[in-house]
Structure 1
Amino acid sequence: MEKNKPLIHTLTVGMPKELVDSKGRSMITGIEKQRVQEVYLSSQGFEGDDVADKKHHGGPDRAVCLYPTEHYIQWEQELGKTLPVPAFGENLTVTNMLESDVCIGDIYKIGDAVIQITQGRIPCSTIDRYTEANTLLKRLIETGYTGFLARVLEEGTICADSTIELVEKHPARISVLYCNEVYFKNNDAIAMKQIQAVDALAEDWKEKLEKRIQVLQRKVMS
């Protein structure tokens, strides 16, 4: 087996349902997913998988959620406890696909499907509530270890033991980690424009960055 070849650690899907946290607070969320051996991936996402908050999650640009296995070790050490897999609502927990190496626009063939990376994941408070760890969301943002999302270029079946092949590296070579650092620091209009210029970037990110660029430019002018 090739060294550092991307691999599927777990393949999971799940529908939104009610979850009650340790404080008795109820939420409807799709974060809890179950392992499957085989599932079909369409342009809208995996069969048997959905999100509750359609405004902030899901849609064609965010059809697949991936999270690097390697980060679990760090989070479990920091939190002093074992996390469920998946802890972040990801469909694919993957090895050898870190945010520092994966770039916006990169194209991967996974099983019969082909996906393209579109954006870093913007984590929400559901992660803290689901994992019962009130520092995890903050740490994901601080480190940029958010995982990432993808659109589907070719639909097809993915199995738990399917291979992951890099089909094409995007020429801009703008990593997910770099995007996260720029996005969460929110003070570099030039870097934002550089990210915004990547054709494969999710439309939602293009719009968010445009608003931020305009705010920064008004500050400079005032």
Structure 2
Amino acid sequence: MKIISINVATVGNLFVTEAGEAPRRVPTAFDKKPVAAAVRVTRLGLTGDEQADLAANGGINKAVYAYPSEHYAFWSAQRLAALKRDMPLSPGAMGENLTISGLLEDAVWVGDQLQIGDALFEVTEPRVPCFKFNVRMGFSHASKAMMQSGATGFFLRVLKTGMISAGDAISLRAGPRLQTIRQLHEQRCNGTQFDLF
């Protein structure tokens, strides 16, 4: 288990076009780009990273977003099917701060702790995508595909600040082991109709 890439972005604009309307500007920090140097982890996230919508992202319980690189092949296939062209995805494309390998949603539990570099994180919850994910992926059912597949990634709380770098190993310390990220995602989806378009 390790970090493949550390990705950050400042708040910019996403232009959303709806049928019959002029494009509107939506603030977002979705356009995460890899950084080569070590990054400082603070209680509220990574130095150099911002969140535009603190109700959905950021804060103590969603300070850092981790996404398994193993899901990238799924998203490449989804985009090829929807857009009829191959459009490579680079780390950060899911809006994640940490592109990771070796740790999927069914193997990480709410409350597990992840030691990475000098920093210590606690797994909190799966992601629920919004319409911005559809726009960034280029097709209208991307958010629905994330919810149906369970390829959500997960948010992290920062328990100990410190420095992290791409390539750092991830050491997992078991928490109470009551519910995996996938189980929590499925519980939230059970009987719930998500309007993600």
| TM tier, smaller | 0.7 to 0.9
**Residue 142 (structure 1) aligns with:** 148
**Residue 15 (structure 1) aligns with:** 10
Note if contact 1:21-1:130 (Cα within 8 Å) is conserved in structure 2.
no
Q: Indicate the percent of aligned positions where both proteins have the same amino acid.
A: 32
2:183 aligns with one of 160, 166, 178: 178
Gaps of 5+ in 1: 1-5, 188-222
More helix by share: 1
Note if contact 1:21-1:132 (Cα within 8 Å) is conserved in structure 2.
no
Counterpart Cα distance in 1 of 2:32 and 2:17? 19
Amino acid at match of 1:91: N
Amino acid at match of 2:2: L
**Residue 42 (structure 2) aligns with:** 42
**Residue 86 (structure 1) aligns with:** 92
Note if contact 1:83-1:131 (Cα within 8 Å) is conserved in structure 2.
no
**Residue 83 (structure 2) aligns with:** none
**Residue 29 (structure 1) aligns with:** 28
Report the CA distance shift for 1:16/1:178 in structure 2 as closer, same or farther (over 3 A). same
Gaps of 5+ in 2: 81-85, 193-197
Could you report, residue by residue, the CA deviation over 1:78-100 in whole angstroms, capped at 9, with x for unpaired residues?
22132342122110011111001
- What's the TM-score, normalizing by structure 2? 0.86
Higher Cα Rg, which structure: 1
Counterpart Cα distance in 2 of 1:22 and 1:33? 22
Counterpart Cα distance in 2 of 1:100 and 1:142? 14
- What's the TM-score, normalizing by structure 1? 0.77
The CA RMSD over aligned residues, in Å, is 1.6
CA-CA distance at 1:69 after TM superposition: 0.5
CA-CA distance at 1:144 after TM superposition: 1.4
